[in-house]
Amino acid sequence: MRFNSKTLGAATVAALLTSGAAFAGSHSDVCNTPSALGDLGNFEGEVITIAGSMEGKDEEMLTNTISCFEKATGAVVKYSGSRDFAALIVADLRSNNAPNIAIFPQPGLAGDMAKEGHLVPLGDATASWMADNYGAGQSWVDLGTYANADGKKDMYGFAFKMDLKSLVWFSPEQFEDNGYEIPSTMEDLIALSDQMVADGNTPWCIGVESGNATGWTATDWMEDIMLRTTSPENYDRWVSNDLPFNSPEVINAMDVYGQFSRNDAYVAGGASSVATTFFGDAPKGLFSSPASCMMHRQASFIPAFFPKKGEEVANGEADFFYFPPFAAQDLGNPVLGAGTLWTMTKDSPATRAFFEFMKEPAAHEAWMSQGTFLTAHKGADLNAYATPALRKQGEILSNATTFRFDASDLMPGAIGAGAFWSEMTAFANGQDSKTTADNIQAAWDAIK
């Protein structure tokens, strides 16, 4: 046994040095974007408060980005992030403690708050700006448009920071060692999974545990498969429940997902581990020693959860391919995505200036240069992306023949952030697809 006091001293010095360097370096470079920031006005000393759920690396990148706004206008922006955002923001809004801006990860809750009258409309000018300047603009506007108590529809949510969901992550080195090829159709992907099983490898790491949001990973899987087994029109009807949850198309998609997730040979740790594996721990199987799985289907943000916090993507230890469509279905290249919605919860001139700031390409580029940030802003310079991997994700976005939003985000909160999650967790625990679909439909009927 050794207790190393010499290392203690060295580490102290190293820690102090690196922290000093971080303070000096992090802010100044970020705001140095290809596009220049326009004039936003002067709000010297005014305070804007932002509440959201981003923590850790995301929070750091967010504060770096808003520092550009602070520098340009003199305003002071205070961000407070908590994993309990969804509970805290409701209490804050109902008790007149609203921050200026609330960042909703789920449109469902934002819609509920708009209905209670806690959100300030962003105005038609912003809506038409977004329709013109975002790729697939109208669908982003729709994502942030909700009805207020009187049923009048307005745009409340400004989509900023998008995620691409249809990605399969893998370790190129593992693929090389085992002699595997990247599949271009779903049939190939299933054949590859079977080959991995035959070789004695485990193809997939799947984890759906996420505290009180457990189950959302499974809903993503299912939505991706919906887009690959039935038409986009059916997908839209599913979101609005014109196509009932227990209709054959939906149950079929759930069964296809079950072929992956409920197959003991396919999933690292066996199918029973899916419900109890933290979604952020699941991809670590790709990098464990020895690797416990070969592939992981997850959105573009997941490298932040890799053991080296995403450095793997830059140095080639990790890569991704597009979650391919069934060749037999002829549905083109569908892509599933999502975005966080920035809403105005307390009006002020400086807050309005902040929303103008988010329209600037420079604001997008500032975050693009830091990583794990995708944007649909057509004016933003693609060269600003931090890595070739992010640019490749941008290409997947632009090559998409169909783009659809995360269905669970679009469904009413009680379904998309409730029954759908919990029932998919029950499905992971062995409940059959028919019962699962019936239960979700029953929950939906109950809120109609």
Radius of gyration of the chain (CA): 22
Name the pairing type of β-strands 334-344 and 157-164.
Answer: antiparallel
Cβ-count burial of 336 within 10 angstroms (0-12 exposed, 13-18 middle, 19+ buried)? buried
Residue 79 or 326: the one with the smaller Cβ distance to another protein is: 79
Residue 38 or 56: the one with the smaller Cβ distance to another protein is: 56
Cβ-count burial of 349 within 10 angstroms (0-12 exposed, 13-18 middle, 19+ buried)? exposed
CB of 19 to another protein, least distance (A): 6
Question: 211: helix, coil or strand?
Answer: coil
CB of 7 to another protein, least distance (A): 4
| Pair 66, 77: CB distance under 8 Å | yes
CB of 23 to another protein, least distance (A): 9
CB of 325 to another protein, least distance (A): 28
Residue 39 or 44: the one with the smaller Cβ distance to another protein is: 44
CB of 84 to another protein, least distance (A): 6
Residue 24 or 125: the one with the smaller Cβ distance to another protein is: 24
CB of 230 to another protein, least distance (A): 36
Distance CA 152, CA 146 (A): 8
Cα 412 to its chain centre, rounded Å, is: 18
CB of 428 to another protein, least distance (A): 21
CB of 253 to another protein, least distance (A): 31
- Residue indicated by tokens 């029973």: 272
| Pair 364, 35: CB distance under 8 Å | no
* Residue 352: CB atoms within 10 Å: 18
Residue 205 or 384: the one with the smaller Cβ distance to another protein is: 205
Distance CA 231, CA 234 (A): 5
| Pair 202, 293: CB distance under 8 Å | yes
Omega cis (within 30) before 388: no
Residue 89 or 119: the one with the smaller Cβ distance to another protein is: 89
| Pair 55, 63: CB distance under 8 Å | no
| Distances from the Cα of 278 to the Cα of 139, 261, 417, angstroms | 31, 15, 17
Residue 288 or 399: the one with the smaller Cβ distance to another protein is: 288
List residues near another protein by CB under 8 A. Answer: 1-4, 7-8, 10-12, 15-16, 18-19, 45-47, 51, 55-57, 59, 78-84, 88, 91-92, 94-97, 173, 177-179, 199-200, 280-281, 284, 288-290, 305, 307
Residue 76 or 251: the one with the smaller Cβ distance to another protein is: 76
